[in-house]
């Protein structure tokens, strides 16, 4: 049971480039979400999904897209990276109240 996995662990992008952060879980959880962690800001919700085919915006969705074609996968897309998107990104899945987080992706946009 791998839990929640994220790839890549580290990424450096130039302003304007696009990329997809991958997230997968093997716990058959319906609820998945993406957070970003910034100093002094805690964990802020970007997008979430309550099941395959259903996504919704969180607190800071601008500049990010998501899709949920399967229960297992919940990729996060940056269409045109900006320096303000430099952050650590965490994917999480949940059944009930206990949420499981992946190890994170550290993204730097120059």
Partner 1 sequence: DQQVKQNSPSLSVQEGRISILNCDYTNSMFDYFLWYKKYPAEGPTFLISISSIKDKNEDGRFTVFLNKSAKHLSLHIVPSQPGDSAVYFCAAIGLAGGTSYGKLTFGQGTILTVHP
Q: Where do contacts with partner 1 occur on this chain (CB under 8 A)? A: 4, 31, 33, 35, 40-45, 48, 50, 58-59, 90, 92, 94, 97-104
Residue at token pair 């990010």: 64
Strand partners, 106: 10, 88
Rank residues 17 and 100 by Cβ distance to partner 1 and give the closer one: 100
- Residue 101 C-beta: closest distance to partner 1, Å: 3
Stated length of the chain: 110
Q: Which residue has the tokens 């997230």?
A: 23
Q: How far apart are CA 34 and CA 71, in angstroms?
A: 15
Please say which residue, 56 or 79, places its beta carbon nearer to partner 1. Answer: 56
For residues 17 and 88, which CB has a smaller minimum distance to partner 1 in the complex? 88
In the complex, least distance from residue 88 CB atom to partner 1, rounded to whole angstroms: 9
């Amino acid at each position: 049971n791998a839990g929640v996995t994220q790839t890549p662990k580290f990424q450096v992008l130039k302003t304007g480039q696009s990329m997809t952060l991958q997230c997968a879980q093997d716990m058959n959880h319906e609820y998945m979400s993406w957070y970003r962690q910034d100093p002094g800001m805690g964990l802020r919700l970007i997008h979430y999904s309550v099941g395959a085919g259903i996504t919704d915006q969180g607190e800071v969705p601008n500049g990010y897209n998501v899709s949920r074609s399967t229960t297992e996968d919940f990729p996060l897309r940056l269409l045109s990276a900006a320096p303000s998107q430099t952050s650590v990104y965490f994917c999480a899945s949940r059944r009930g109240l206990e949420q499981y987080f992946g190890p994170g992706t550290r993204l730097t946009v120059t």
